[in-house]
Amino acid sequence: MDLEFVSRHAGRPATALTRRDVARALLAVPSGVALVALPDLRRALMAVGNPLSAPFWDSARTTLAAIESGTATVGDVQRWSESTGTEPILLTPSYFVWPEEDERGPVAQEMYDLLVAHLEKLVDAGEIDPDALARGDHQARRAYEELQERWLATPLPDGRVPGFAVSDEQDEELFSAWDEEEAFALEELRRITDELPKRPELPIADLERAAARLRTLLAVAGYPGNVLRACAGFDTEATPDDDVELWLTVAAGIAGPVSDLPEEGDLLEEFTDLDGEVSREDEIMAHLCAIQHADWLAAVAALARMGPGVLASPERIARLIAESEDIDADEQELDDLASTERLFQPVVTLWAHLGIVDGDDVLTPLGWWGLPMALERAWSPRD
């Protein structure tokens, strides 16, 4: 490692290298190599008229030595990088998080580079003191954080707000990945149901009884009606008159909740009450939203193959998922099985209200008929 390596790594001539450029190059090689190269690198930069500063070199030696000895944490290294004065803070006080370098989209990378350039101008203007940051000055650190917070919230000449632009791009990537996963799961579900040796018939009498119970539950305030209404989106849409449409909409909503629970009370007071307990309904909705497509696919596929009369308790479903050949899953530990079981506990309870399982958590003919159809509806694109 030498000055030519650092310049090539940073894409700048030696005379224009910043503390950040040197720090990133030092972290790009084994710490032992960087430590050995440090004295020669410092002399080489002094020779070209870009000596940087004694506090920077001292902090570099301390950090590299800690890395080499195994005592440095990831946070220690990140904070040292940020102390160069032109490295964006990974996690700001308002909880804005920059994506990791290899996970940044075009917009995030553009905004990151713009912020680095902005910080370099502030260092040149004397508005940021890298040496104070390197010495661990708390006031300098707070000022460094605040100016980045302001930049993230200030519109650029083209009108984009950097923080929002990055978050929007991440949301789009997340939604795109979710849609791809859902489309694949839907394709697999259809393949599995098409291969079933026998297709179940609609048990009309069972459906009518289940729909009557369901209409009663949906008309009453509180659990489980409020959760089922939120899952189906009935808080904003009318309840279908057709029994099949009603039942499938609610069953599909359990696998893919359409809306959140209605907001009630003083939300600000509730949000700021960190010691407050999460409501039963909110906990149930969180469990439903946490279940992965693959787990739904494995569970419903297994139940569809085995048919009515099979045990569909949370514990049994967790085991069916762990043993499924329909999904790529590593061998699950007991903790994983327990976690899956906890997620499916409210599912099975809600299924009982729809007649999908009976009082003993056994799959019914109605559940056998409707579960695959409900899951297909949950994963099909909505108009």
Name residues whose C-beta falls within 8 Å of residue 138's C-beta, 6 or more positions apart in sequence.
Answer: none
Give the helix/strand (H/E) hosting 244: helix 243-255
Give the model's pLDDT for residue 174: 83
Distance, in Å, from the CA atom of 271 to the CA atom of 37, rounded to the nearest integer, reads: 52
Give the closest residue to 302 by CA, choosing from 281, 322, 287.
322
- DSSP-derived secondary structure for 67-133: HHHT---HHHHHHHHHTTSSSPPSB-TT--BPPPGGG--HHHHHHHHHHHHHHHHHHHTTSS-HHHH
Give the model's pLDDT for residue 274: 41
What pairs with residue 97 in β-bridges? 91
For each successive 10 residues of the chain (383 residues), what is the average pLDDT? 92 95 95 94 95 94 94 92 93 88 91 95 94 93 93 94 92 84 90 87 95 94 91 84 96 89 50 55 91 94 94 95 80 71 95 96 96 94 69
- The dihedrals phi and psi of 177, each to the nearest 5 degrees, come to -65, -40
Report whether 88 contacts 119 (CB < 8 A).
Answer: yes
- The dihedrals phi and psi of 357, each to the nearest 5 degrees, come to -125, 160
Give the closest residue to 316 by CA, choosing from 299, 328, 330.
299
User: CA torsion angle for 156, 149, 162, 83 (degrees, to 10)?
Assistant: 100
Q: What is the pTM of this model?
A: 0.64
